[in-house]
Chains A and B, each alone.
Chain A
Amino acid sequence: MDNDLILLGHGSGGNLSHQLLEELLIPTLSGLEMADRNDAALLDLAGERLAFTTDSYVVEPLFFPGGCIGDLAVNGTVNDLAMMGATPLWLSCAMIIEEGFSRQKLAEVATAMRVAADLAGVKIVTGDTKVVPRGKADGLFINTSGIGVIRHGLQIDGTRARPGDRIIVSGTIGDHGIAVMAAREGLELESGVKSDCAPLNGLVADLLAAGGNTVHVLRDPTRGGVATTVKEIALQSGVDITLDEASLPLTAGVKGVCSILGLDPLYVANEGKLLAFVAPERADELLALVQSHPLGKNAAIIGEVTEIGKGKVRMRTSVGGLRGVEMLAGEQLPRIC
């Protein structure tokens, strides 16, 4: 086998992505063997705590049920900042456009970005446009970077999961990945599934205001889905986790498409959901708070941190059996964000 090739799986958010980061990119770019593997970098600037992140969007098709690449590019970056407990403030927007792309479609995408930015309370303050010859890009790629400020003294990151923590998911899982997949040419399925693409900074602000330091970890389970995200946190925090399959919120549409295609919704991407690891004594109260938020109606507690460990994740299956949970292996659904 030829190890020189970058494969689609290297962009899946799963194991291969992690290997590429750890073995090649992080050591080369930062000189550190292991950087903090969080959604955004935390920076100290004259006493202010800033969060800084960047993300590129290559979703295909550009328009899908529930959203398009424009709102996705805003919400994805807003959410990465929010997951560090930051208040997102400013975004950049860089577009790589393929020659021959429709001006009207570009306007639709730009409008979607503007609407999403207004909804999230952020401003798009700088940008860049490049046009490449036909065939050198696929329609439109967008990169957004974001800056947020951390206005509280709380530490929220992936290393802080503790034994006893309950894991809250803010709603149904798998909607985004399945919606994009169903919209894709060649998959003639009328599933009625819509992307959950949404900004989570408001929900995070409510959670932190109520929960304070009983909120230990926040992360949005995007590529690789809930399974990969939970496994990442288990490894980062050095704890073992047990999930309860019966309590995973799923729409009938996602369940149906997953059954037909043999996909596991636990590995399908979300773009408007968060996982919160919270102290057990406040879990029920914080769950109720999330459920009272418009983006958290179907929130549920889906598992708990059982003990200090080596990052093992297990699942109590819907029928009462027990099995392991690993990160996404290879590519499940390429180009879903």
Chain B
Amino acid sequence: MNYQDEFRDRELVAGLAERIRLLTLGMERPLTFMEVCGTHTMAIYQYGLRTLLPPQVRLISGPGCPVCVTPNDYLDRAVALARLPDVTIATFGDMLRVPGSRSSLMEERAKGADIRIVYSPLDAVALATKNPERRVVFLGVGFETTAPAIAGSILTARSKGVTNYFVLAAHKTIPGPMALLSADPELAIDGYLCPAHVSAIIGADAYLPLAERGIPCVVTGFEPADVLQGVELLVRQVKEGRHQVENQYRRVVSREGNRKAQEIIRQLFVPADAAWRGMGILPGSGLVIAPEFREYDAQAMIPVTVEPPVEHPGCRCGEILRGKVSPFDCPLFGGLCTPETPVGACMVSSEGTCAAAYKYGR
């Protein structure tokens, strides 16, 4: 068992698809399920799962990609920091190509800014140690999954006495927007495929308030068989009139989640209102660096002037992130907006809905 091939088995997947087809036979209206995890979005496109589902099941993508929900003013600030002569930006690769209001980090790198792609925030701490004359700023973008690693990097920096390491934090927590979107009558979401990685941290019980408000929730893994089984469980809940939290991904996710990770998040961050691309400011949906770790907070420690953000007029990323329109409904998709010349963030991130649709869906 390698925990991968078993869940990509063609016959298993065909069997699940057939069960979903039988369950939905004769259904009067199609069921709409939303996934809010970029890895789900990718898996659904990459394995062509929609082509295996009956027309009564509609899968829509929500705000599951951390890069995509990061608003322009954050990018504009990162660009402004990158332009400082003694600043090195360290980031996960996806952030490089996201267009801000007037520039992108990739463009700044081509113009000479020192921007490094790292695979872990600890690599950024190592960069800071190696280059004591530079201020190394890690772009801390992500959900509950990446927050503990970034918290850990700050603790590492403190224990090693590294003083030139900073985090530009824009962490977000996912239950808030899920509650908001589930109350939207236009979307009429019948259930959530709850994220896999995020749930490993926050635990399946984090969705109990949603379920209590009538929304079926299934914590779902992201191998193809996981996703289809998650869909099957959601269909069953709807048919049986139940609205509960079910955990399809028990091999990774527990009810209470990862206590240690939750603890380190609480130690390093405090909840704050956060701006989401397409959704505006959602109360308490972000994590900012706690006051006692202020010396690692790039926003507080490295002041830069950032002009007011501007959005591309035609870009529909906001509506795409809320599941209101599909990428194919956007007038820019595939024409003005492609992965090479992305107009909106959803086309940039490898987990973005538009990027997945462009690469796999046409």
Do B47 and A317 touch (CB < 8 A)?
yes
At the interface, is chain B mostly helix, strand, loop or mixed?
A: helix
Is A45 located at the chain interface by the 8 A CB criterion? Answer: no
Closest residue on chain A to residue B347 by CB atoms: A329
Knowing A262-B350, A320-B52 touch, does A330 contact B107 (C-beta < 8 A)? no
Is B119 located at the chain interface by the 8 A CB criterion? Answer: yes
We find that the number of chain B residues with CB closer than 8 angstroms to chain A is: 41
- From A1, A15, A186, B99 is in contact (CB under 8 Å) with A1
Do B106 and A319 touch (CB < 8 A)?
no
* Complex CA–CA separation, A2 to B361 (angstroms): 29
Do A323 and B119 touch (CB < 8 A)?
no
Q: Which residues of A contact B99 (CB under 8 A)?
A: 1
Q: Which chain A residues (143-183) contact chain B, with CB distance < 8 Å?
A: none
Knowing A1-B341, A7-B106 touch, does A321 contact B359 (C-beta < 8 A)? no
Do A324 and B360 touch (CB < 8 A)?
yes
Is B330 located at the chain interface by the 8 A CB criterion? Answer: no
Is A187 located at the chain interface by the 8 A CB criterion? Answer: yes
- From A187, A259, A262, A323, B47 is in contact (CB under 8 Å) with A323
Is A125 located at the chain interface by the 8 A CB criterion? Answer: no
Do B10 and A246 touch (CB < 8 A)?
yes
- From B13, B339, B340, A320 is in contact (CB under 8 Å) with B13
A227 to chain B, nearest CB (A): 9
- From B46, B111, B123, A317 is in contact (CB under 8 Å) with B46
Is A284 located at the chain interface by the 8 A CB criterion? Answer: no
- From B42, B97, B104, B362, A326 is in contact (CB under 8 Å) with B362
Closest residue on chain B to residue A318 by CB atoms: B8
Is B305 located at the chain interface by the 8 A CB criterion? Answer: no
Q: Which residues of B contact A1 (CB under 8 A)?
A: 99, 103-104, 107, 341
Is A86 located at the chain interface by the 8 A CB criterion? Answer: no
Do B359 and A329 touch (CB < 8 A)?
yes
Q: Which residues of B contact A46 (CB under 8 A)?
A: none
Do B52 and A319 touch (CB < 8 A)?
yes
Do A323 and B45 touch (CB < 8 A)?
yes
Write out, one digit per residue, whether chain B residues 99-128 have a CB within 8 A of any chain A CB (1) or not (0): 100011011001100000011000100000
Knowing A1-B99, A319-B52, A323-B47 touch, does A329 contact B107 (C-beta < 8 A)? no
Write out, one digit per residue, whether chain A residues 14-45 have a CB within 8 A of any chain B CB (1) or not (0): 11100100000000000000000000000000
Do A324 and B359 touch (CB < 8 A)?
yes
Between B42, B355, B359, the greatest number of chain A beta carbons within 10 A of the residue's beta carbon is seen for B359
* Complex CA–CA separation, A186 to B361 (angstroms): 33
Write out, one digit per residue, whether chain B residues 80-102 have a CB within 8 A of any chain A CB (1) or not (0): 00000000000000000101000
Write out, one digit per residue, whether chain A residues 86-115 have a CB within 8 A of any chain B CB (1) or not (0): 000000000000000000000000000000
Do A319 and B361 touch (CB < 8 A)?
no
Closest residue on chain B to residue A321 by CB atoms: B48
Known: A319-B225, A323-B360. 10 other contacts (CB 8 A): A1-B103, A5-B110, A8-B106, A186-B119, A318-B224, A319-B224, A320-B48, A321-B51, A324-B361, A326-B359
19 CB < 8 A contacts A-B: A1-B103, A1-B104, A186-B119, A186-B123, A262-B350, A264-B46, A315-B48, A318-B224, A319-B48, A319-B49, A319-B225, A321-B47, A321-B48, A321-B224, A323-B45, A323-B47, A326-B360, A329-B340, A330-B97
Interchain residue pairs A-B with the least CB separation, the first 4: A321-B48, A329-B339, A323-B48, A319-B13
Where the two chains meet, the residues of B that have a C-beta atom closer than 8 Å to any C-beta of A are 4, 8-10, 13-14, 17, 42, 45-52, 97, 99, 103-104, 106-107, 110-111, 118-119, 123, 224-225, 338-341, 350-351, 355, 358-362
